[in-house]
Amino acid sequence: MYLEHIEYPDDLKKLTLEQLNILSDEIRAAVIKRTAVNGGHLASNLGVVELTIAMHYIFNAPEDKFIWDVGHQSYVHKLLTGRQKLFNTLRRHGGISGFPKISESSYDAFGTGHSSTSISAALGIAEARDRLGEKFKVIAVIGDGALSGGLAFEGLNHAGHLKKDIIVILNDNEMSISPNVGAVSAYLNRILTSDFYKKFRKETKLFLEQIPRIGESVAKIAQRAEGSLKGFILPGAFFEDLGFNYIGPIDGHDLMLMTETFKKIKEISEPLIIHIVTQKGRGYKFSEDDPCGFHGVGPFELETGASIKVEASNTYDDAKKSLHKPRVCSSMSEVFGKTLTTLAENDSRISAVTAAMKEGTGLSCFAEKFPDRIYDVGIAEGHSVTFSAGMAVHGLRPVVALYSTFIQRAVDQIVHDVCLQNLPVVFAIDRAGIVGEDGPTHHGIFDIALLRSIPNITIMSPADGAELAAMLSFALNLNAPCAIRYPRGKAYDIDLPELKRDITLGKGELLFEGTDAAVIALGNMVLPALKAAAMLKEEGLNIAVADARFVKPLDSDLILGLAKKTGRIVTIEDGCASGGFGSAVLELINRSGIKDVSVKILGIEDKFVEHGPQAVLLEKCGLDEKGIYKSVLNFIKHGI
């Protein structure tokens, strides 16, 4: 057993190559065992075991800086950099994060979570290094999926220009979450199937001899190797043209080859790309067979790979409580995908757009039914929006499905390309609110604040699954920009006859009458608000509860009517409290001139929320039924 004796990379450096190979098996076993219990990004980590070992074997972190693109593949790095004893806390509340985090370890040179940032960050660090006269290596590890993101190309473009000493390791497994798409991916694939690669794959020694001397081009290497360029697709010519030295493609599971390559290139001080080829999910039968399904997993059975149904961590899933009816669809994403597929049957203009998240956003069924009407644009959220705007301006009805956290990448495109031109693009904003174990990089808490100040856009949030379906149909008939935000998690329907779900522009619905205060809840805050009101009723307090439905335009009749009647308004949203839905209500009341109304805004306060189970985090933010109950009681009793 070698792993247990390794605390830091120096311990690793004492091992022989043979021992490193045994270590890689041990690491795979540890990662599989831990993700089977804690969940996480299994397949991506199994693919980078040898790469991570080789990097730590040859380079000297933390002096040398490793930047993991997206960062979901950093578990092996964490195991080798002082966090082995904490590995059982991976993704657990209070434990180590599933992503690199500078506050967690000096070995995490840059925090990541959103894709395609590594080259830009590496370049910035390299620039700072040179300005300060320091000496170390900066190494970005980027997947072929993350390379489909425009930001990666902005980084490459600038790096080729600055000619900085940085190393970009391109980890090519031909997969994003699903199989990778796009012309760049096809280009990489051509390299892998080229004669050049086939020849060098067989002849490791020959390959190593061909590693460029400083400044030597791929063409020259190929010439040296073969005497002529005939018959070669020159691998990496594209990167060479951008000003990078290119090495590869090399087998990313061959420790000897990688360590030797890294040793050789340490002296090169120009932009360098090392193209390695790996197998996503390697070493665990089930993830090898289904790397997409094992990209991000919840707990699963080791022997069968079958997912273990954990007791839902979402308090609203508790079927024993009244008001709650489980749905046939298991998640809100599925409600969205199935509804869209049904609506598309009768409207050939409806098209679906995803930025590499077809499965996650529930669009698989749409893809099966309408393969020619779905567009996976790669990890390119900004492009997905402008592309949709283009389709909309010429008569189509695009629905672009993005996670709330990733829509942050596309705000300018939403402002300019969609809203300024008032185009009928529907934004299906999935994973809005607290998402859970993926933590602060993935919580979807800024979308309302980011979008609601944009003219022309309508913003809605459904109280339950049935309302989401109704809203989608409404949005597609609106003929203007429209966003629907809904949470991660199980789909349920609220069992309350008052909830009619007739969607009319700018109209919410009053669900409980009351005089002591009025709670105006948004989206999945409606159910806990109803439950909190039921608890307050037992204390003799009559609380009105409304389903706000619209963030924009607000239902001013409903809200101002309740303000006059009760004098106390509480707004609830699972988004940032500043600049969000509550702020909009406050602005409305302020503009109305109504006197003697107090407003309390419940939402996520001005800080980043850590990782942990959704229910625990919601409770900590005071957004579960008990938290809402306490806040409303306090508000009525003490005015705060």
- Min separation Cβ 115 and ligand TPP, Å: 4
- Min separation Cβ 551 and ligand TPP, Å: 24
Token pair listed for 590? 């302020």
Asked whether 31 and 46 are in contact (CB, 8 A), the reply is yes
- Show Cβ contacts of residue 627 under 8 Å, excluding neighbours closer than 6 positions: 602, 618, 619, 621
Q: Which residues pair with 371 in a beta bridge?
A: none
Asked whether 434 and 443 are in contact (CB, 8 A), the reply is yes
Catalytic residue among 260, 334, 381, 467: 381
- CA–CA gap between residue 543 and residue 519 (Å, rounded): 7
- Min separation Cβ 123 and ligand TPP, Å: 18
Token pair listed for 238? 């594209």
**Would you tell me how many other CB atoms lie within 10 Å of the CB of residue 296?**
20
Asked whether 196 and 233 are in contact (CB, 8 A), the reply is yes
- Min separation Cβ 384 and ligand TPP, Å: 10
Whether residue 409 lies in the annotated active site: yes
Asked whether 512 and 544 are in contact (CB, 8 A), the reply is yes
- Min separation Cβ 507 and ligand TPP, Å: 34
SS3 (DSSP) at 284: coil
Asked whether 480 and 532 are in contact (CB, 8 A), the reply is no
Cα 550-552-556 angle, rounded to 5 deg: 75
- Min separation Cβ 456 and ligand TPP, Å: 25
Our CB check for ligand TPP shows the closer of 40 and 603 to be 40
Long-range contacts of 96-102 (CB under 8 A, 24+ apart): 97/439, 97/611, 98/40, 98/41, 98/72, 98/437, 98/438, 98/439, 98/611, 99/70, 99/71, 99/72, 99/74, 99/438, 99/439, 99/441, 100/67, 100/68, 100/71, 100/74
Our CB check for ligand TPP shows the closer of 357 and 520 to be 357
Using the structure block, give the residue that is written with the tokens 């075991």.
49
Our CB check for ligand TPP shows the closer of 109 and 169 to be 169
Our CB check for ligand TPP shows the closer of 72 and 568 to be 72
Residue closest to 123 by CA, chosen among 149, 150, 161, 72: 161
Token pair listed for 504? 């009319």
Our CB check for ligand TPP shows the closer of 392 and 407 to be 407
- Min separation Cβ 62 and ligand TPP, Å: 23
Q: Is 104 exposed, middle or buried (0-12, 13-18, 19+ CB in 10 A)?
A: middle
Our CB check for ligand TPP shows the closer of 145 and 433 to be 145
Element (H, E) at 397: strand 397-403
Per CB under 6 A, residues contacting ligand TPP are 44, 47, 70, 72-73, 114-115, 143-146, 171, 173, 175-177, 280, 355-357, 379, 381, 406, 409
- Show Cβ contacts of residue 483 under 8 Å, excluding neighbours closer than 6 positions: 426, 427, 429, 447, 451, 457, 458, 459, 460
- CA–CA gap between residue 385 and residue 391 (Å, rounded): 10
- Min separation Cβ 100 and ligand TPP, Å: 13
- Min separation Cβ 379 and ligand TPP, Å: 5
- CA–CA gap between residue 65 and residue 126 (Å, rounded): 9
- Round to the nearest angstrom and report the end-to-end CA distance of the chain: 59
Our CB check for ligand TPP shows the closer of 72 and 129 to be 72
- CA–CA gap between residue 150 and residue 362 (Å, rounded): 24
- CA–CA gap between residue 621 and residue 27 (Å, rounded): 36
Catalytic residue among 327, 397, 409, 531: 409
Our CB check for ligand TPP shows the closer of 357 and 530 to be 357
Our CB check for ligand TPP shows the closer of 208 and 292 to be 292
- Min separation Cβ 520 and ligand TPP, Å: 32
Catalytic residue among 28, 65, 83, 280: 280
Asked whether 268 and 212 are in contact (CB, 8 A), the reply is yes
Our CB check for ligand TPP shows the closer of 280 and 324 to be 280
Q: Which residues are catalytic?
A: 280, 381, 409
